[in-house]
Structure 1
Amino acid sequence: MTAIDDLITLRDLLRFAVSRFNVAGLSFGHGTTNALDEAAFLLLEALKLPVDDINPWLDARLTRLERQSLLDLIEARVTTRKPAAYLVGKAYIHGLGFRVDERVIVPRSYIGELLMRGVLESEGLGLVPEPEAIGSVLDLCTGSACLAIIAAGRFPQAQVDAVELSPDAIEVAKLNIADYEMGERVHLHRGDLFAPLRGRRYDLIIANPPYVRAEEVAAFPPEFGAEPQMAHIAGTDGLDLVRRILAEAHGHLNPGGALLCEVGTGREALEADYDLPFTWLDTEDSEAEVFWIAAEDLPG
């Protein structure tokens, strides 16, 4: 008798997957942080079930074809060490799903949570008192265009420019923009940061640039190594692109505008290098990895 004959329900497959992942010593961090959540996501998304809660489905009996497909996915997660999001072609930010594959980094920006939860707005920190007053947004290093799409939804009057250097990532971004029918409001530009924008100015700039130190990228586990390296590496201290953004953002912001930027663990280095009034924002899973700064406080 084989595993496919022994494992009948989704609960059986979930337990089997968690055990396999733990024994294999997999790494997580692409939307999940442990073997249980990774297994639940992989199984639910593969079965086209809602990914927010596996409990209603645990005792569902699976067809033989479904069981074989799930066992193949579990084995692929262990043998390829690719993130589950790549294996099923989908990643989520606060319930919104986005297409992903190896051409683009798996979306997991803390900025997405800040936008979706309304932290910036009057019910939160009051940094954006009137979302309807935001008429233009720039998303730098857009990747899959997830943040550009979220911003377009959060700021209903805004036109959103999304800039990406990688031609492969732009192809994935096009798919997501089409899925959300945002083609009239989210506009892709290929280029290096502000270069393709020809002096345009915005009410809000959001940026989730590469911010990982070169030595850390070299030591990545296979799951992170499966992502495009250019989406991670940013010089010896991880802040090369952040410094360029800080130097140029003022010239691309309208009066009263602001920059919202994710920097990972770069707070200490930034505060040592810049005498600027950064406002550091926390999320459910991070502390001071995203800053907000008003246009008038930026150099330039």
Structure 2
Amino acid sequence: MTVNVDLDKLAGELTTVRDYWRYAISRFRAENLTFGHGTSTAVDDAAFLVLDSLDLPIDALDPFLDARLTAAERRLLAERIETRVSTRKPSAYLTGRSYIQGIRFLVDERVIVPRSFIGEILFTEYSGDEDSLYLPDPYGVESVVDICTGSGCLAILAGKLFPNAQIDAVDLSGDALDVAKLNVAEHELGSRLTLHQGDLFAPLKNRRFDLIITNPPYVDHEEMAVLPEEYRTEPSMALDGGPDGLDLVRRILTDAPKHLNPGGGMICEIGTGRELLEEEFPDLDFFWLDTAESEGEVFWITAEALGVENPKKKKK
């Protein structure tokens, strides 16, 4: 049961970062909050909320633990901790910011909180000295499209990882694209990244790309019916993937060959629908990618596996 808290009294009693971090952990645990919007535990969520609210590095808690806070900072933290509990809104909505691989994005309730496994995969594959075993040479990619872009986070990551590419990003939600515009401006990618409103590939006409990136809605209706309150604060259209979660994934797979250049490919996040997808598309050669927190929820598939022929290799 949620308790009534005197914010003025609380702000007077707690004085350091350590105090608010400890207090937030206790409150979050007592209220059985749900996590998963960039953090996975009460400890991590409390640290994120405190540090990001103070505009401190979110991965550097220890140096600031015993820092004394101003009266305004104490009141802000007291209010945000209680708002997190009373509304169940993800902490990212309260600070207005979310992070993928340390890169900051602006967010609000018009978009889903960024948390795609694709970001981790891209950075892992392109962070070392060796070439990726399956993804294309980052300097050779000249065109990328992000389908279901939401806040624009994956399109922006693509802009940073593929320096020679023009990026397109599509979403059906005009509200989401308004947030994406803010992020494109924030990351100064306006000259290379174009946003489109529409249904999947429709706004792109017959254009083809070297790389398709997509993290479509993939929550099935059974799971939608029991989502924790934190997830219910997000736009339902960004989560609802149809009865079995794969409605949009099917459409993307069907249309992708018409929008891929020979030698290209697609990386797609589908959640837990791997078995269903493989059963329905037994002839497709999916290459499943794991991360630290996921197994078999993201696939890579080449243009050739999707039936895209290279004109140079056609028989005369």
Instruction: Report the equivalent of 1:250.
Output: 257
Aligned to 2:202: 195
Query: Contact 1:122 / 1:128 at 8 angstroms: preserved in 2?
Result: no
How far is 1:290 from its partner? Answer: 0.4
Q: Counterpart of 1:2 in structure 2: which amino acid?
A: K
Partner residue in 1 for 2:305: 297
Asked if 1:220 corresponds to 2:248, the answer is no
Any runs of at least 4 consecutive aligned residues in structure 1 with deviations exceeding 6 A, and if so which? none
- Give yes or no for contact 2:126–2:161 (8 Å, CA) kept in 1: no
Instruction: Say if 2:83 is the partner of 1:91.
Output: no
User: Quick one: which amino acid aligns to residue 73 of structure 1?
Assistant: R
Code of the residue aligned with 1:77 in structure 2: it is R
Query: What corresponds to 1:109 in structure 2?
Result: 116
Q: Which runs of 5+ in 1 are unaligned?
A: none
- Deviation at 1:122? 7.3
Whether 1:279 and 2:265 are equivalent positions in the alignment is no
Amino acid at match of 2:297: E
Amino acid at match of 2:175: D
Q: Distance in 2 between matches of 1:124 and 1:224?
A: 37
The answer for the alignment partner of 2:237 in structure 1 is 230
- What corresponds to 2:271 in structure 1? 264
Structure 1 residues 169-180: aligned runs within 5 Å: 169-180=176-187
Structure 2, unpaired ranges of 5+: 1-7, 309-316
Map 1:109-188; keep pairs closer than 5 Å. Answer: 109-118=116-125, 123=130, 125-188=132-195
1:14, 1:39 within 8 Å by CA — same for their partners in 2? Answer: yes
TM (normalized to structure 2)? 0.92
Shift of 1:286: 0.9
Range that drifts further, 239-248 or 281-290: 281-290
Q: CA deviation at 1:117?
A: 2.1
- Verify: 1:72 aligned to 2:61, yes or no: no
CA deviation after TM superposition for structure 1 residue 266, in Å: 0.9
When residues 292 and 215 of structure 1 are mapped into structure 2, their CA distance, relative to the original with a 3 A threshold, is: same
Q: How many percent identity over aligned positions?
A: 58
The 3-state SS of whatever aligns with 1:86 is helix
**Does the 8 A contact of 2:136 with 2:264 survive in 1?**
no
CA distance in structure 2 between the partners assigned to 1:140 and 1:129 by the alignment = 18
Tell me the secondary structure at the aligned position of residue 280 of structure 1.
strand
Alignment-mate amino acid for residue 145 of structure 1: G
**Distance (Å, rounded) in 2 between the aligned partners of 1:179 and 1:119:** 23
Instruction: Check whether the contact 2:143–2:167 (CA below 8 A) recurs between aligned residues.
Output: yes
Q: Which amino acid aligns with 2:296?
A: A
- RMSD over aligned Cα, in angstroms? 1.5
Q: TM-score, normalised by structure 1?
A: 0.97
Structure whose CA Rg is larger: 2
**2 CA distance for matches of 1:200 and 1:121?**
32
Q: For the structure 1 residues 218 and 129, does the alpha-carbon distance in structure 2 shift closer, same or farther, using more than 3 Å as the test?
A: closer
Residue 239 to residue 129, structure 1, CA distance change in 2 (3 Å): closer
Distance 1:129 1:246 in 2: 19
State the alpha-carbon separation in 1 of the partners of residues 66 and 127 from structure 2. 41
For the 8 Å contact 2:147–2:214, the answer to whether it is kept is: yes
Q: Distance in 1 between matches of 2:97 and 2:11?
A: 25
Separation (CA, whole Å) in 1 of partners of 2:187 and 2:136: 26
Aligned residue type for 1:217: M
Name 2:88's counterpart in structure 1.
81
Relative to structure 1, the CA distance from residue 219 to residue 256 in structure 2 (aligned partners, 3 Å threshold; closer, same or farther) is: same
Q: Deviations over 1:45-67 (max 9, x none)?
A: 11010111211100001112211
How far apart in 1 are the matches of 2:185 and 2:212?
22
Secondary structure of the 1:178 match is helix
Contact 2:131 2:137 in 1 (8 A): no
Q: For structure 1, which segment, 214-223 or 10-19, has the greater mean C-alpha deviation from structure 2 after superposition? A: 214-223
Q: What's the offset of the Cα at 1:299?
A: 5.1
- 1:5-84 correspondence runs (5 A): 5-84=12-91
CA distance in 1, matches of 2:92, 2:142: 33
The whole-number CA distance in structure 2 between the counterparts of 1:243 and 1:120 is 31
The 3-state SS of whatever aligns with 1:137 is: strand
